[in-house]
Amino acid sequence: MINKINVVEPYLPDYSKYANYIKEIYERKILTNKGPLVELLTKRLENHLGVKNILLVSNGTIAIEIALRLLECKGEILTTPFSFIATTSVPLWSGCTVKFSDISPKTYNMDVDLLKSSVSSDTCAIMPVHVFGNPCDLDSLELLAKEKNLKLIYDAAHAFDVKFNNRSVLGYGDISTLSFHATKLFHTVEGGAIIISDDKLYEKAKAMVNFGFENGDITMVGTNAKMSEFHAAMGLCVLDDIDKIKLCRKSIYNRYLDKLCGDFQFQKISHDVEYNYSYFPILLKDESTLLKVMKALNDDNIFPRRYFHPSLNTVVSMSFDQCMPVSEDVSQRVLCLPIYPTLTIIEQDKVIDILNRGV
Ligand SMILES: *Cc1c(COP(=O)(O)O)cnc(C)c1O
């Protein structure tokens, strides 16, 4: 039986190491609510990433929800149509409206010049995404947010361990959110984090994720977004291996760049970036070529993903009426290739051969 090659395989750390943490939890009988493993993971992540005020939560979607609440965002959120659905559904779920602004065809991130002209008097916040871990134009966005008095929230779900000018991108903006879902570079099975620049807001966020409890009193409307000890245990194990994980991914990434020769375009990673090699997207000539290539790969048990597809402004059930020509074009032609530490060279070369053979 030939192994199925997916776009990603969740990373599973050493079993006995994980089991030891679980044994500890059994003995301590603290399963959640600010347990010691959550505290330890918080501190270790702050050190590793070089940022302060990390709040661990139960997933990356609720992380965005809490960011919007904390910054009291009402009205219009300006965001990218080229992202995972959560970037758009959370503002809608939270009672805001969503307005899209198109992306750059090279970086796949929001085009700041277009964004400038999209800001209206209703705009409360801008919410860019570091798409596939490629940092946005951080300085221009900061300037724009300041100039127009807007909140700046980064959906940084892909940007774990990404640095710009030797500084984590997670330290930019009012808030950055992370996803620690099993398919992400660093994971806790399910989980996420909020990185909050303002110390007072950080304190407020701690209460907000725990039903609004502050020193025993209910001081605000809250929700339940706590990370459990079992999830933190997985995070501690994966964090031990993160440098190894990134090295494996880097060599796969560079092998694709070296060996792929055909009518493909690659994402332009910005200068002065320490990248995390979390995805390997390619753009094909057109959608019909993409569908043929997909079929050829699928026939060989290789399953890349059309990520992101469709462009979010075209999601029928949300009935938006904006056209986003660049995002729609990229969405129709983008394919994310398999990249994960256990992908073998033989498997990767099979992917490369099929792509280079053409259709
Ligand atoms: C994965 C992801 C999310 C959602 O995170 P979950 O932890 O799955 O809730 C949000 N935004 C982007 C860009 C993502 O890739």
Each residue's pLDDT expressed in tens, for the chain with a length of 359 residues: 568 999 999 999 999 999 999 999 999 999 999 899 999 999 999 999 999 999 999 999 999 999 999 999 999 999 999 999 999 999 999 999 999 999 999 999 999 999 999 999 999 999 999 999 999 999 999 999 999 999 999 999 999 999 999 999 999 999 999 999 999 999 999 999 999 999 999 999 999 999 999 999 999 999 999 999 999 999 999 999 999 999 999 999 999 999 999 899 999 998 899 999 999 999 999 999 999 999 999 999 999 999 999 999 999 999 999 999 999 999 999 999 999 999 999 999 999 999 999 87
At position 249, the amino acid (one-letter code) is R
Handedness of CA 109, 179, 73, 325 (dihedral sign): positive
Atom of ligand 1 nearest to the CA of 191: 7
Test site for ligand 1: of 179, 190, 234, most ligand atoms within 8 A of the Cβ: 179
Give me the residue label for tokens 């025993």.
Answer: 216
How many angstroms is it from 215 CA to the middle of ligand 1? Answer: 31
Ligand 1: does its nearest atom lie under 6 Å from the Cβ of 108?
no
Ligand 1: does its nearest atom lie under 6 Å from the Cβ of 61?
yes
Q: What is the pLDDT of residue 312?
A: 98
E-strand ranges in the chain read 5-6, 54-57, 76-79, 97-100, 123-127, 151-155, 163-164, 167-168, 175-179, 192-196, 213-214, 217-218, 265-266, 273-274, 281-283, 302-303, 334-336
At position 63, the amino acid (one-letter code) is A
Q: What is the pLDDT of residue 221?
A: 96
Q: What is the pLDDT of residue 359?
A: 77
How many angstroms is it from 256 CA to the middle of ligand 1? Answer: 25
Return the residue whose CA atom lies nearest to atom 3 of ligand 1. 60
| 106: its two tokens | 């090279």
Nearest to 343 by CA among 219, 270, 252: 252
Return the residue whose CA atom lies nearest to atom 5 of ligand 1. 60
Distance CA 81, CA 252 (A): 28
Residue 194 β-bridge partners = 55, 177
Ligand 1: does its nearest atom lie under 6 Å from the Cβ of 129?
yes
Distance CA 250, CA 245 (A): 9
How many angstroms is it from 192 CA to the middle of ligand 1? Answer: 9
How many angstroms is it from 233 CA to the middle of ligand 1? Answer: 20
Q: Counting beta carbons within 10 angstroms of the beta carbon of residue 237, is it exposed (0 to 12), middle (13 to 18) or buried (19 or more)?
A: buried
Q: In the chain, what is the straight-line distance between the N-terminal and C-terminal CA atoms, in Å?
A: 26
Q: Are 167 and 35 in contact (CB under 8 A)?
A: no
| Residue 271, SS3 per DSSP | coil
Test site for ligand 1: of 80, 84, 89, most ligand atoms within 8 A of the Cβ: 84
Distance CA 27, CA 265 (A): 53
Distance CA 35, CA 353 (A): 49
Give 179's contacts (C-beta < 8 A, 6+ positions apart). 59, 60, 61, 63, 157, 191, 192
